[in-house]
Amino acid sequence: MNKEEAKAAILSLSKEIDQHNYHYYVESNPQISDYDFDMLLNRLQQLELEHPEFAYDYSPTKRVGGDITKKFESVVHRFPMLSLANTYSEEEIIDWETRLKKVTDEELNFVCELKYDGVAIGIRYENGIMTRAVTRGDGTQGEDITANVRTIRSIPLKLIGHFPDDFEIRGEIFMPLASFNALNAEREEIGEQLFANPRNTASGTLKMQDSKVVAERNLDSYLYGVYGDDLSFEGHLSAVENAGSWGFKVPTKEKNFIQRTTSIEGIMDFIHYWDKARHGLPFEIDGVVIKVDNYAQQRKLGFTAKSPRWAIAFKFKTERVETLLE
């Protein structure tokens, strides 16, 4: 195989593997067997070893990890990562909606979505390539954990479709319950202390120095906030749906992970549904987030010192059970 043939084969294999990754990790709809997938990946790895000059930074082979990070660099956010006001009270959700309607007499559309119990992340893409992934930190600056985020197979290294040249997408990285339970089973078998919960385990995993270990822990994500200059979307839901067409794993209306409503009754229906249905999810959520959909209305409503006025998080009460200590 000459150099041109090797270059073409590497590019073709990369695209094919990316597509299978998308089917498996984003759509949960694998098109080939694990064995066939591994054979494709092994073939790509071999070609990249033979022709390292054609190994792309966004190659699917980077997913397996291996980078060692001595120190996580501190990075200032281009757009501050503000926290949301929290409440456990439905009455406070009603009061919040009433306050918004006093500020504007325009009709408000609300977007309701799940509040994933994980680690907030902001990921920058330039010309369709992942360039940096940064934790929330203090909201003004966070830590660069790009090498570890590259190992998460539901997060694309290279985008498809028509996307902005330079933007950031934000969301949550979490540990699925199956991965958490399997990890604790392994630890129990070798006599190590068990991890307390999936959220803390995901957080600790993302700060590990060896990205190969991160890759083995099968973290997952949902991404749902698009930030950038000169974005063409009118509102939050439209941005989320477009991000899904670029290859991101985003919450969808089909799964009822995200819905738009014009009424407080619609908000309450979403809250009540997920307060019960959350126990059937393969990952943990700790509440529901409600946002004003329209970006122009968001700007008009503005911010407090700590959080946006146009969004609020309703948190579910932690369930308590009694156990008999013998």
Q: Which residues are catalytic?
A: 115
Indicate the SS3 state at residue 83.
coil
Apex 239 CA angle, 304 and 106, nearest 5: 55
Measure the CA–CA gap between 130 and 9, rounded to whole angstroms: 22
CA 17 vs CA 12, 48, 60, 205, 222: distances in Å: 9, 14, 7, 25, 21
Measure the CA–CA gap between 1 and 143, rounded to whole angstroms: 42
Torsion angle (degrees, nearest 10) of CA 182, 188, 190, 196: 80
- One-letter amino acid at 102 equals K
Residue with tokens 């908000």: 267
Measure the CA–CA gap between 204 and 207, rounded to whole angstroms: 5
Measure the CA–CA gap between 323 and 153, rounded to whole angstroms: 39
- Pairs from 257-260 (Cβ < 8 Å, separation ≥ 24): 257/113, 257/114, 257/222, 258/111, 258/112, 258/113, 258/114, 258/224, 259/111, 259/112, 259/113, 260/109, 260/110, 260/111, 260/112, 260/293
Measure the CA–CA gap between 61 and 47, rounded to whole angstroms: 11
- One-letter amino acid at 34 equals D
- One-letter amino acid at 156 equals P
